[in-house]
Structure 1
Amino acid sequence: MTIYTEGFHTAEFLLSEAEGMYSREQVTLAAGSPALPAGQLLGKVTATSKYVAYDNSATDGSQTAVAILYAPAPDLTADQKITIIARQAEVAAYALTGLDTPARADMVAAGIVVRD
Protein backbone atom coordinates (compact mmCIF):
# COMPACT_ATOMS: atom_id res chain seq x y z
CA MET A 1 0.00 0.00 0.00
CA THR A 2 1.29 3.44 -0.95
CA ILE A 3 1.16 6.18 1.67
CA TYR A 4 0.75 9.72 0.44
CA THR A 5 1.64 12.84 2.41
CA GLU A 6 -0.48 15.87 1.71
CA GLY A 7 1.12 19.31 1.95
CA PHE A 8 -0.43 22.40 3.45
CA HIS A 9 -3.40 23.94 1.68
CA THR A 10 -3.94 27.58 0.80
CA ALA A 11 -4.02 29.70 3.98
CA GLU A 12 -4.07 26.63 6.25
CA PHE A 13 -1.56 28.44 8.49
CA LEU A 14 -3.93 31.40 8.99
CA LEU A 15 -5.81 31.57 12.31
CA SER A 16 -7.22 35.08 11.87
CA GLU A 17 -6.66 38.20 9.81
CA ALA A 18 -7.85 41.79 9.65
CA GLU A 19 -11.29 42.57 8.27
CA GLY A 20 -11.60 42.69 4.51
CA MET A 21 -8.33 42.12 2.69
CA TYR A 22 -6.22 44.44 4.87
CA SER A 23 -3.78 41.66 5.85
CA ARG A 24 -3.10 40.65 2.24
CA GLU A 25 -1.07 42.13 -0.61
CA GLN A 26 -0.26 41.18 -4.18
CA VAL A 27 3.51 41.16 -4.79
CA THR A 28 6.02 39.67 -7.23
CA LEU A 29 7.77 36.38 -6.49
CA ALA A 30 11.16 36.30 -8.22
CA ALA A 31 11.84 33.96 -11.11
CA GLY A 32 14.13 31.07 -10.26
CA SER A 33 12.43 30.36 -6.95
CA PRO A 34 11.81 26.68 -6.26
CA ALA A 35 8.28 25.43 -5.60
CA LEU A 36 7.14 26.98 -2.32
CA PRO A 37 4.38 25.76 0.01
CA ALA A 38 1.61 27.87 1.49
CA GLY A 39 2.97 29.18 4.78
CA GLN A 40 6.50 29.77 3.46
CA LEU A 41 8.12 32.78 5.10
CA LEU A 42 9.27 35.32 2.54
CA GLY A 43 11.95 37.98 2.41
CA LYS A 44 12.12 40.96 0.08
CA VAL A 45 15.25 41.44 -2.04
CA THR A 46 16.30 45.06 -1.56
CA ALA A 47 17.71 45.60 -5.08
CA THR A 48 14.61 44.34 -6.94
CA SER A 49 11.76 44.64 -4.40
CA LYS A 50 10.80 41.07 -5.38
CA TYR A 51 10.03 38.37 -2.85
CA VAL A 52 11.91 35.09 -2.33
CA ALA A 53 11.99 32.42 0.35
CA TYR A 54 13.26 33.79 3.66
CA ASP A 55 16.93 32.92 4.29
CA ASN A 56 18.42 34.04 7.60
CA SER A 57 21.95 33.72 6.18
CA ALA A 58 21.34 35.94 3.12
CA THR A 59 22.61 39.51 2.78
CA ASP A 60 20.31 40.81 0.02
CA GLY A 61 17.32 41.76 2.16
CA SER A 62 15.76 38.29 2.20
CA GLN A 63 17.40 37.65 5.59
CA THR A 64 14.41 39.48 7.12
CA ALA A 65 11.08 37.64 7.11
CA VAL A 66 8.51 40.20 6.02
CA ALA A 67 5.53 38.14 4.83
CA ILE A 68 3.97 34.70 4.48
CA LEU A 69 3.02 33.01 1.20
CA TYR A 70 -0.78 32.62 1.10
CA ALA A 71 -1.02 29.81 -1.49
CA PRO A 72 1.51 27.33 -2.89
CA ALA A 73 3.70 28.58 -5.76
CA PRO A 74 5.18 26.26 -8.40
CA ASP A 75 8.77 26.34 -9.69
CA LEU A 76 9.15 29.66 -11.43
CA THR A 77 10.72 30.29 -14.81
CA ALA A 78 9.34 33.85 -14.83
CA ASP A 79 8.31 36.35 -12.17
CA GLN A 80 4.83 35.66 -10.81
CA LYS A 81 2.22 37.69 -8.92
CA ILE A 82 1.37 36.07 -5.59
CA THR A 83 -0.73 36.85 -2.54
CA ILE A 84 0.98 37.28 0.81
CA ILE A 85 -0.03 37.90 4.39
CA ALA A 86 1.84 41.09 5.25
CA ARG A 87 0.29 42.43 8.46
CA GLN A 88 -2.33 42.13 11.21
CA ALA A 89 -2.78 38.37 11.35
CA GLU A 90 -2.43 35.39 13.68
CA VAL A 91 -0.74 32.31 12.25
CA ALA A 92 -0.01 28.77 13.43
CA ALA A 93 3.70 28.09 13.96
CA TYR A 94 3.41 24.41 13.00
CA ALA A 95 2.23 25.33 9.50
CA LEU A 96 5.00 27.81 8.66
CA THR A 97 8.05 26.91 6.58
CA GLY A 98 11.34 28.58 7.50
CA LEU A 99 10.34 29.71 10.98
CA ASP A 100 13.31 30.28 13.29
CA THR A 101 13.98 32.60 16.24
CA PRO A 102 15.00 35.65 14.14
CA ALA A 103 11.96 35.13 11.88
CA ARG A 104 9.66 35.15 14.93
CA ALA A 105 11.02 38.59 15.83
CA ASP A 106 10.60 39.74 12.22
CA MET A 107 6.95 38.60 12.27
CA VAL A 108 6.30 40.66 15.42
CA ALA A 109 7.78 43.71 13.66
CA ALA A 110 5.43 43.07 10.70
CA GLY A 111 2.41 42.87 13.00
CA ILE A 112 1.96 39.11 12.56
CA VAL A 113 1.45 37.02 15.70
CA VAL A 114 2.86 33.49 15.59
CA ARG A 115 0.93 31.11 17.86
CA ASP A 116 2.48 27.85 19.09
Structure 2
Amino acid sequence: MKYDIVTQGARTAAFLLNEASGERSREQILLLKGATAFPAGQILSKNAAGKYVAFVAPADGATVEVAILYEGRDADNTADRYAAGVVRDCEVIESLLVGLTDPARVALAAAGIILR
Protein backbone atom coordinates (compact mmCIF):
# COMPACT_ATOMS: atom_id res chain seq x y z
CA MET A 1 0.00 0.00 0.00
CA LYS A 2 1.34 3.44 -0.91
CA TYR A 3 0.69 6.57 1.16
CA ASP A 4 1.20 10.13 0.05
CA ILE A 5 3.25 12.35 2.33
CA VAL A 6 1.75 15.77 2.95
CA THR A 7 3.85 18.56 4.43
CA GLN A 8 1.84 21.29 6.10
CA GLY A 9 2.95 24.88 6.05
CA ALA A 10 2.50 27.44 8.80
CA ARG A 11 -0.97 27.31 10.31
CA THR A 12 -3.03 30.34 11.24
CA ALA A 13 -1.90 31.75 14.62
CA ALA A 14 0.10 28.60 15.47
CA PHE A 15 2.84 30.91 16.80
CA LEU A 16 0.52 32.67 19.28
CA LEU A 17 0.65 31.48 22.91
CA ASN A 18 -1.28 34.24 24.66
CA GLU A 19 -2.74 37.61 23.71
CA ALA A 20 -4.38 40.55 25.44
CA SER A 21 -8.08 40.33 26.33
CA GLY A 22 -10.61 41.11 23.64
CA GLU A 23 -8.15 40.49 20.83
CA ARG A 24 -6.47 43.82 21.70
CA SER A 25 -3.19 42.39 20.43
CA ARG A 26 -4.46 42.34 16.82
CA GLU A 27 -5.09 44.98 14.18
CA GLN A 28 -6.01 45.05 10.54
CA ILE A 29 -2.86 45.82 8.57
CA LEU A 30 -2.23 46.59 4.91
CA LEU A 31 0.36 44.49 3.06
CA LEU A 32 2.18 46.10 0.15
CA LYS A 33 1.37 44.46 -3.17
CA GLY A 34 4.10 42.24 -4.52
CA ALA A 35 5.23 38.85 -5.73
CA THR A 36 5.95 37.55 -2.23
CA ALA A 37 3.56 35.28 -0.36
CA PHE A 38 3.80 35.48 3.42
CA PRO A 39 3.19 32.59 5.84
CA ALA A 40 1.53 32.92 9.22
CA GLY A 41 4.18 34.06 11.68
CA GLN A 42 6.01 36.31 9.20
CA ILE A 43 7.56 39.32 10.92
CA LEU A 44 6.66 42.54 9.13
CA SER A 45 7.55 46.22 9.45
CA LYS A 46 5.69 49.31 8.29
CA ASN A 47 7.32 51.25 5.43
CA ALA A 48 7.23 55.02 4.86
CA ALA A 49 3.94 54.68 2.94
CA GLY A 50 2.29 53.02 5.96
CA LYS A 51 2.14 49.54 4.39
CA TYR A 52 3.67 46.39 5.84
CA VAL A 53 6.52 44.50 4.15
CA ALA A 54 8.89 41.74 5.25
CA PHE A 55 10.80 43.10 8.25
CA VAL A 56 13.44 45.70 7.43
CA ALA A 57 15.78 46.72 10.24
CA PRO A 58 15.51 50.44 11.08
CA ALA A 59 18.48 52.80 11.01
CA ASP A 60 20.46 53.04 14.26
CA GLY A 61 18.45 54.91 16.87
CA ALA A 62 15.22 54.81 14.83
CA THR A 63 12.10 52.87 15.74
CA VAL A 64 9.86 50.84 13.47
CA GLU A 65 6.27 49.63 13.75
CA VAL A 66 6.29 45.86 13.70
CA ALA A 67 3.63 43.16 13.24
CA ILE A 68 3.45 39.38 13.04
CA LEU A 69 1.15 38.08 10.32
CA TYR A 70 -1.76 36.22 11.94
CA GLU A 71 -2.59 34.08 8.90
CA GLY A 72 -0.80 33.42 5.62
CA ARG A 73 -1.40 35.64 2.59
CA ASP A 74 -0.84 34.81 -1.07
CA ALA A 75 1.22 37.07 -3.31
CA ASP A 76 -0.69 39.75 -5.22
CA ASN A 77 1.02 42.00 -7.76
CA THR A 78 -2.17 43.88 -8.61
CA ALA A 79 -3.29 45.37 -5.31
CA ASP A 80 -2.33 45.87 -1.68
CA ARG A 81 -4.09 43.38 0.58
CA TYR A 82 -5.53 43.57 4.07
CA ALA A 83 -4.58 41.06 6.73
CA ALA A 84 -4.69 40.56 10.49
CA GLY A 85 -1.49 41.30 12.34
CA VAL A 86 -0.44 40.79 15.95
CA VAL A 87 1.05 44.15 16.92
CA ARG A 88 1.22 44.37 20.75
CA ASP A 89 0.99 42.73 24.17
CA CYS A 90 1.27 39.00 23.53
CA GLU A 91 3.46 35.93 23.94
CA VAL A 92 4.62 34.02 20.87
CA ILE A 93 6.60 30.85 20.09
CA GLU A 94 9.97 32.06 18.84
CA SER A 95 10.69 28.98 16.72
CA LEU A 96 7.50 29.48 14.67
CA LEU A 97 8.32 33.05 13.60
CA VAL A 98 9.60 33.74 10.09
CA GLY A 99 12.30 36.36 9.54
CA LEU A 100 13.43 36.70 13.15
CA THR A 101 16.65 38.72 13.44
CA ASP A 102 18.27 40.63 16.30
CA PRO A 103 16.76 43.97 15.12
CA ALA A 104 13.38 42.25 14.84
CA ARG A 105 13.73 40.99 18.43
CA VAL A 106 14.32 44.56 19.62
CA ALA A 107 11.30 45.88 17.68
CA LEU A 108 9.05 43.07 18.95
CA ALA A 109 10.13 43.70 22.55
CA ALA A 110 9.36 47.43 22.14
CA ALA A 111 5.83 46.47 21.05
CA GLY A 112 5.35 44.29 24.13
CA ILE A 113 5.63 41.03 22.18
CA ILE A 114 7.39 38.42 24.30
CA LEU A 115 9.27 35.57 22.68
CA ARG A 116 9.03 32.18 24.40
For Structure 1 versus Structure 2, the TM-score category normalised by the shorter chain is: 0.7 to 0.9
Alignment partners' CA distance in 2, 1:111 and 1:76: 30
CA shift, 1:22, in A, is 0.6
The 5 Å alignment of 1:1-116 reads: 2-46=4-48, 48-56=49-57, 64=64, 66-77=66-77, 78-115=79-116
CA contact (8 A) 1:16 1:91 kept: yes
Task: Letter of the 1:87 partner, please give it.
Answer: R
Mean Cα deviation higher: 3-12 or 82-91 = 3-12
Identity of aligned residues (%): 45
* Structure 1 unaligned regions, length at least 5: none
Instruction: Number of aligned residue pairs: give it.
Output: 110
Q: TM-score, normalised by structure 1?
A: 0.86
Superposition misfits of 4+ residues, deviation over 4 angstroms:
none
What is the TM-score when the length of structure 2 is the normalising length?
0.86
Matched to 2:45, the amino acid is G
Larger radius of gyration: 2
Q: CA deviation at 1:105?
A: 1.1
CA distance in structure 2 between the partners assigned to 1:72 and 1:23 by the alignment: 17
* CA RMSD, 1 decimal: 1.9
